[in-house]
Chain A
């Protein structure tokens, strides 16, 4: 026998009053992840999900609502404390009261939020990503890439028409030194949960044209504190870390960091600062060229003046060198000639003397005096030397000359 049926509304009303009567379902602090979050008519609709830590599959799920009267306050408090807006895929701690509406079913009405829980979770998540990137050996890859001397060809990843992009371009091309830059925009979604995939797609486009660029700039402009959680994405971080060109990130966050800050070559706060950084780099290159110009001018000038100095030195040296040569020649002549001459003259004199000595000895040997001294004598008659006895007559007076003195005698006998 069946009891009288009740209507669905009656059933739901029973549930509703059961739930409303249970104080353990009132103002309970619950931890969960957000999902499918959207704002409509000032009210915020979302799902609270709990996932199995092992496989990420949902193990619990409930619809949740933040009424407009609370949402303005909760969302701004959350953004200020966490540096990021209340969006999907965040771990949150919320104060809920469970409500069952006969027409709309079960939902958790959120009346408060504890941002510190989310902060802690964001940091935890980031630390885990850093550990993973470190373990995989890629965390420093982009940071240690060598910078080209002149990073003037810039691939820009930004949202089309974003204020930040305009700031970047105006600042870059308006640099006072007229430094040359060439930029190309690779559009990407820079907000929300699609941002990582969109940025990765833009990077992929640049990656096939790495020869055309010197570096990549990822910028997001100007506005209020955004949902930086979407940048705390492992896939995006791993892509940027392994990107073959140096990456500069300027996504407009003052206080908070994202995982990108740990992997990029250069981290700046704003798009303008990114332009500033590039300008500084090019200024340094320009200064280097100016310095080189000055140094080369100096070196060439000193080379010329050095050469002239050397010439002047030789010029000054030349007269004294050649005069000195003559002087030296003269003085050596002075020293050498008299000696040699004396030598030669003495030799001649000595030879002549020797010859004279020999001659005088011969002369002496042949002189009549010498013959007389050896015992010979000369007989003269009437002053003429007698050499033939037949020319004499008896009675002739002979004069005999001896070596010393002479005698007179008369011829008495002649023998022929």
Chain B
């Protein structure tokens, strides 16, 4: 499987939607449930981190603006 950090936001989102569809469908193997869910969590955290920045980052940007 591709490391999430190599994905674009849109790719990560598309994979999340695929996982959701598989989870909702009948063809989801219980053996795969754990790995699918942990992949989903990884993707979700990645997407969230792409959308939001840390306090430190923000402070750095706003400081550079003032200089």
- B-binding residues in A (CB < 8 A): 148-150, 152, 166, 169-170, 173-174, 177-181, 282, 285-286, 288-289, 292-293, 295-296, 299-300, 303-304, 307
Contact = CB atoms under 8 A, between A and B. Distances in A.
A286 B61 contact: no
A150 B53 CA distance: 13
Interface residues of B, number: 29
Interface in B34-64: 36-37, 40, 44, 47-48, 50-55, 57-58, 61-62
Contact of A178 (B13, B24, B44, B55): B55
Nearest to A287: B51
Contacts of B33: 300, 303-304
| Contact residues of B: prevailing secondary structure | helix
Nearest to B13: A149
Contact of B62 (A150, A173, A300): A173
A293 B44 CA distance: 7
| Contact residues of A: prevailing secondary structure | helix
Contacts of A289: 13, 16, 44, 47-48, 51
B52 A179 contact: yes
Contact of A300 (B23, B50, B55, B58): B23
Contacts of B44: 289, 292-293, 296
A314 to B, nearest CB: 14
B7 interface: no
Nearest to B37: A300
A173 to B, nearest CB: 6
Contacts of B37: 296, 300
Contact of B58 (A178, A285, A293): A178
A164 B14 CA distance: 37
A120 B31 CA distance: 73
Contacts of A148: 10
B65 interface: yes
A150 B9 contact: yes
Given A181-B53, A304-B33, 10 more contacts: A166-B65, A174-B62, A178-B55, A180-B57, A286-B48, A289-B48, A292-B13, A292-B20, A292-B44, A296-B16
B1 interface: no
